[in-house]
Structure 1
Amino acid sequence: MRRQLLFLFCLTLGGCAWEAGQGFAVVEPTVRVAYEALPARNAGDGYQKLSSDYQVRLDSAAMRLSGIELLATASGPSGSFDPANPPPGYSLCHGGHCHRDDGALIPYEQIAAELGGGGGSRTVVTLPVDEPLNLLAPETRPLGCQPDCALPQTQVSQGRWGVETLRIEGIVRDGRVPPRIASERRFVLDLKPGADDADAPVAVLDGEVELPSDRATPPEAKVALNLVLTAGLFDTVDWDNVKDTTGVVNISRSDNAEALKAVLEQLARFSPEAEVTRG
């Protein structure tokens, strides 16, 4: 009888946002990564203008991600901790401690100290990306979740992308007359972890995510994660000073350290986007 009354109550309100036994938000994530040719940069023949007046045309581009983390940021002034309303990442506060999402029992004093220290980011869920992504033939790919797609009560505010590898091949030419380089030159960018940092990503990209996980919003949440790179990635490369010893300019070589630094700085400027649709 009680269950029937709850069902009728939900119908009256137009649907309930949360049911016992499920996450406060259940995410259905997808990812898409693309290289986009911009009309304002069009130089003909598939080339894109750079701010340096050089022009590049990409023949291939592939990225492998170590994963995407959805993070929540804890914040709040000292003394704001209320056991009846625990902060994100905690639940069931009683007897002087709260249950943390990983199962640990944390004393009230420690939680209050964390809030007073300005909080910090914590990973709510990790989205593994198993296969490389073709930036020139982009596709929307569904993702799984670790440990679970059902999220605890929290406020997801950030997406952190770990770029494991990025390989781009293409051609560069000079748009000036007279040209600074004699002819078209093939180039390759091959970003991958070094032997000493095999587990470290070559770049970490951060983007905003607006994903409340609570009882006030419908639990089903489609999260479309999107990253778009452009020719701006190569805007600050000094192409007339990069070294070419094999007939192909390898930006990733140690003797082209300045060019590699310029690309990495530009890569860090690209921010992933997240579109959240509640069902």
Structure 2
Amino acid sequence: MRRPLHFLFCLALAGCAWGPGQGFAVVEPTVRVAYEAQPARNAGDGYQKLASDYQVRLDSASMRLDGIELIAISGGSGGAFDPANPPPRYSLCHGGHCHRDDGALIPYEQIAAEMGGGGGSSTVVTLPVEEPINLLAPETRAVGCQPECALPQTQVSQGRWGIKTLRLEGTVRDGRVPPRIASERRFVLDRMPGLNDAPVAVLTSQVDLPSDRENPPEAKVALRLVLTAQLFDTVDWSTLAQNQDGVVDFGNPANAKALEAVLEQLARISPQAEVTRG
């Protein structure tokens, strides 16, 4: 009875390492996304201080994700990579990463691996997050896997988050005396996919998830993304156009630079990944 029972146990785990080099992991992913107030930025009445001395309060905040990819990066020599002369699709290399044309900030080592002939990056599994997320009432969600949660032998080293939509509504006021804006102002940022359904932003994070024969197969992967008021740190609110109702709309072409500044701050956020083997 030993062999049949072992076979059934392997089926329950969605995979087994039957021969040399055939490692595996079975992931149980959860996702949590939130906008969090920081105690050091507390300005009272729900407002958060900005680096510019303006203060913002969010009254509603929601996001849709275009899935989360868990990625393996193949090694390569990377000797030809020069941050001052990045390859096609990349620009503005600084601080250890380059901007890719889809909005992602890609680490130097990943670009070097792609250029070094090591095969670049490959998606091992995609975690769909289909329902909209209320950032002010966050919850931890169990999510599924595509094509499956049983992974092949590999080393997952990166997570890639595609943000499909982002909507933020709130109020801004000035913390200086005299104030640069006369009173509180309502604002709205409603960002949808761009041309060719391009995501609003693509975030990358480090993940340490070996899928091999050396670790227990069960792997709980807790993925977290935290947004803060830092998103608005570089915005000069006194220069932004208001609509006829006195609302600052980041979608107004006159406010394009401010929108770009917020999205740049968003793209710099690195989600967290905690892997627990059981």
What TM-score comes out, normalization by structure 1 length? Answer: 0.78
How far did residue 165 of structure 1 move?
Answer: 0.2
Alignment correspondent of 1:126: 126
Report matched runs for 1:212-231 at 5 Å. Answer: 212-231=210-229
SS at match of 2:265: helix
How far did residue 132 of structure 1 move?
Answer: 0.7
How far did residue 193 of structure 1 move?
Answer: 1.4
Report matched runs for 1:167-182 at 5 Å. Answer: 167-182=167-182
Letter in 1 for 2:55: Q
SS at match of 2:256: helix
Alignment correspondent of 2:273: 274
Q: Tell me if structure 2 keeps the 8 A contact 1:187–1:250.
A: yes
SS at match of 1:64: strand
How many residues are matched?
232
SS at match of 1:240: helix
Alignment correspondent of 1:66: 66
SS at match of 2:187: strand
Alignment correspondent of 1:259: 258
Unaligned runs of 5+ in 1: 7-16, 79-113
Q: Tell me if structure 1 keeps the 8 A contact 2:29–2:222.
A: yes
In 2 relative to 1, CA 180–115 (structure 1 residues): closer, same or farther, beyond 3 Å? closer
* Among 241, 263, 276, the residue aligned to 1:243: 241
In 2 relative to 1, CA 31–23 (structure 1 residues): closer, same or farther, beyond 3 Å? farther
Deviating above 3 A after TM superposition, structure 1's stretches of 4 or more consecutive aligned residues are 1-4, 17-23
Letter in 2 for 1:178: P
Alignment correspondent of 1:147: 147
Alignment correspondent of 1:163: 163
In 2 relative to 1, CA 116–35 (structure 1 residues): closer, same or farther, beyond 3 Å? closer
Alignment correspondent of 1:51: 51
Unaligned runs of 5+ in 2: 7-14, 79-113
Once the two structures are superposed, residues 76-129 of structure 1 have per-residue CA deviations (whole angstroms, 9 ceiling, x without a partner) of: 569xxxxxxxxxxxxxxxxxxxxxxxxxxxxxxxxxxx9961331100000111
Letter in 2 for 1:43: A
Distance 1:30 1:269 in 2: 22
* Among 198, 201, 207, the residue aligned to 1:200: 198
Once the two structures are superposed, residues 196-223 of structure 1 have per-residue CA deviations (whole angstroms, 9 ceiling, x without a partner) of: 33x2111000000000000110010000
